[in-house]
Amino acid sequence: MTQHLPPSKDSPIIIVGAGVFGLSTSIHLAQRGYTNITVFDSKPYDETLYSYFDSCDSASSDINKIIRSAYGSQTEYQDLSTEALSAWAAWNAELKAANDNNHDRDGIKGITPNSSLFIPNGYLNCSDSTTLPDFEIATIENMEKAGKHGTQLINNKQADIQLASQRGVEYALQPFNKEVLGVLDTTGGHVLADKACIFALHKAKKLGVRFILDPVLGKFTSFGYDSSSNSTTKTITSITTADKKHHAASLVVIYSLCETTAGSVFMLHIPESSPLRQRFHHSQFPSWSFNMREHGADGGLYGFPVDENGIFKIGYRGTKYTNPQQQSDGQERSVPEQAHKVVAKFLDEYLPELDNSGIHISESRLCWYTDSFDNHYVIDYVPG
């Protein structure tokens, strides 16, 4: 097996991809004392501010993302989630302190004072089944084992309904107009994805990380290899960007270029004057998923409360695209018909008040997942 020694603290490290993984890695390396880190991305995030409407190629550029501890028997994700939740709480506190002390109040473009990055409005994983799937049962057992007693509430169990009511989260047990069976993960909720990335970019810059965010100067095109080595394993020693410039590095970390499948996302705009703004506000409405497992292409829905701009977002991953067709403008972004059908049916049955108020799907988009074909992640040296 090849031995990989860590680079020295001042040797040049290149990260390709300024999505949430590239940002997070740059922050953690800088916090561990690495002083010569450069992040490249072809998206000019200083200008686009991780806008959902301006970055189809970046999974991290989004309005909101679900945060949950519920991972069935996959306790490695549950453990990661526990760590992540503490980190989100710390970032919320850091942002609040910066605002309270008036530091950065006007300094972080794109983040309004008093915003939170993580909103703990709960995550309801539900279905139209009459019994709880094994996944939910395993989540409850594993959260208990991890000492997180009473965090997973079954929405038709009297004792849990009472607990939810005592904690003021009863609203999240039956959020739709038709009853569902599910488990409320009270540790969960959602993050404001674009704002979280803006904050992470700001933090990384403060830690001394350099960023080249530009469609040409920041666009990775190829690796450079150590030509003197006679070993069978090639060593990457630089990258080349679209301006044909070579950038030497002791370590290159890639957090991009691995898009495998695309999910469908739909948006409805709720006008400010509509009472549905309050009905779907995060103080009254959980993040949710519906028929996520065992329903194949007819299930796989998830959604969020309405955001500050009135956007009510619903996603579909019952069928993911692997080979989207190019459209006349060269873009590959059309949402599968199946996705549209499933979401429209759900809205009719479970949230009819939207249609009754004249609120319909106004936009849809494909968004590239960067996880592997089986929904896991891969971290490896290439060549391994």
Ligand X SMILES: Cc1cc2nc3c(=O)[nH]c(=O)nc-3n(C[C@H](O)[C@H](O)[C@H](O)COP(=O)(O)OP(=O)(O)OC[C@H]3O[C@@H](n4cnc5c(N)ncnc54)[C@H](O)[C@@H]3O)c2cc1C
Enumerate binding residues for ligand X (CB under 6 A): 16-22, 40-43, 57-60, 65-66, 218-220, 255-257, 263, 265, 315, 367-371
Which CB, 133 or 188, lies closer to ligand X? 188
Which CB, 21 or 199, lies closer to ligand X? 21
Amino acid at 102: N
Which CB, 98 or 189, lies closer to ligand X? 189
Which CB, 104 or 371, lies closer to ligand X? 371
Which CB, 116 or 370, lies closer to ligand X? 370
Cβ at position 166, least distance to ligand X in Å: 28
Long-range contacts of 369-376 (CB under 8 A, 24+ apart): 369/59, 369/259, 369/260, 369/261, 369/262, 369/263, 369/320, 370/19, 370/21, 370/59, 370/255, 370/256, 370/258, 370/259, 370/260, 371/260, 372/260, 373/260, 373/261
Q: What's the chain's length in residues?
A: 384
- Dist CA 73 CA 222 (whole Å): 39
Which CB, 94 or 371, lies closer to ligand X? 371
Which CB, 5 or 257, lies closer to ligand X? 257
Cβ at position 329, least distance to ligand X in Å: 19
Which CB, 106 or 374, lies closer to ligand X? 374
Cβ at position 254, least distance to ligand X in Å: 9
Cβ at position 375, least distance to ligand X in Å: 10
Cβ at position 198, least distance to ligand X in Å: 13
- Dist CA 303 CA 305 (whole Å): 7
Cβ at position 5, least distance to ligand X in Å: 25
3-state secondary structure of 320: strand
Element (H, E) at 229: none
Cβ at position 204, least distance to ligand X in Å: 13
Please list the alpha-helical segments (H only) found in 207-258.
none
Long-range contacts of 311-314 (CB under 8 A, 24+ apart): 311/63, 311/267, 311/268, 311/269, 311/270, 312/267, 312/268, 312/269, 312/270, 312/280, 312/354, 312/359, 313/63, 313/64, 313/265, 313/266, 313/267, 314/265, 314/266, 314/267, 314/268, 314/343, 314/346, 314/347
Cβ at position 25, least distance to ligand X in Å: 9
Pairing state between β 13-16 and 37-41: parallel
Amino acid at 15: I
